[in-house]
Amino acid sequence: MQILSLQSSVATGAVGNSAAVFCLQRLGYDVARIDTVRFSNHPGHGGFAGGPADAGEMAALVAGIDARGLFDGCRCVLSGYLGSGAQGAVVADAVARAKRANPAAFFALDPVMGDRGRVFVKPDTVDAVRALEPLADLLFPNAFELGLLTGDTVATAADAVAAAQKLRNSRPARIVVATSVPLADGIGTLAVGPAGAYLARSPAIDHPAYGAGDAFAALFLAHYLAGETLADCLQKAVAAVHAVLTATAKAGALDLLLVACQRDLAHPPVLFPVAEL
Distances (CA, A) of 116 to 141, 179, 195, 237: 12, 12, 29, 22
Confidence check: pLDDT of 66 > 90:
yes
Confidence check: pLDDT of 121 > 90:
yes
Confidence check: pLDDT of 193 > 90:
yes
- How far apart (Å, rounded) are the C-alpha atoms in residues 33 and 26? 15
Name the residue with higher pLDDT: 81 or 186.
81
Percent of the chain with pLDDT over 70: 100
Q: Which residues contact 96 (CB under 8 A, 6 or more apart)?
A: none
Q: Which residues contact 21 (CB under 8 A, 6 or more apart)?
A: 5, 31, 33, 218
Give the pLDDT of residue 88.
Answer: 98
Give the pLDDT of residue 184.
Answer: 86
Q: State the average pLDDT over residues 117-146.
A: 96
β-pairing, 138-139 vs 106-109, is: parallel
**DSSP label at 243?**
H
Name the residue with higher pLDDT: 46 or 83.
83
Residue 67 CA, chain-centre distance (Å), reads 27
- How far apart (Å, rounded) are the C-alpha atoms in residues 94 and 65? 9
Give the pLDDT of residue 133.
Answer: 97
Q: State the average pLDDT over residues 170-183.
A: 94
β-pairing, 50-52 vs 31-39, is: antiparallel
- How far apart (Å, rounded) are the C-alpha atoms in residues 132 and 88? 7
Give the pLDDT of residue 209.
Answer: 86
- How far apart (Å, rounded) are the C-alpha atoms in residues 216 and 210? 11
Can you give the C-alpha Rg of the chain in angstroms? Answer: 17
Alpha helices in the chain (DSSP H): 17-26, 55-67, 87-101, 123-132, 143-150, 157-168, 212-225, 230-251, 262-266
- How far apart (Å, rounded) are the C-alpha atoms in residues 115 and 50? 22
Give the pLDDT of residue 74.
Answer: 98
Confidence check: pLDDT of 218 > 90:
yes
Residue in 161, 81, 164 with CA at minimum distance from that of residue 126: 81
What interhelical angle do 143-150 and 157-168 show, nearest 10? Answer: 50
Q: State the average pLDDT over residues 175-184.
A: 94
Decide: helix, strand or coil at residue 172: coil
- How far apart (Å, rounded) are the C-alpha atoms in residues 3 and 158? 33
Confidence check: pLDDT of 44 > 90:
no
pLDDT band at 59 (very low <50, low <70, confident <90, very high): very high
pLDDT band at 185 (very low <50, low <70, confident <90, very high): confident
State the chain's mean pLDDT as an integer: 96
Give the pLDDT of residue 155.
Answer: 92
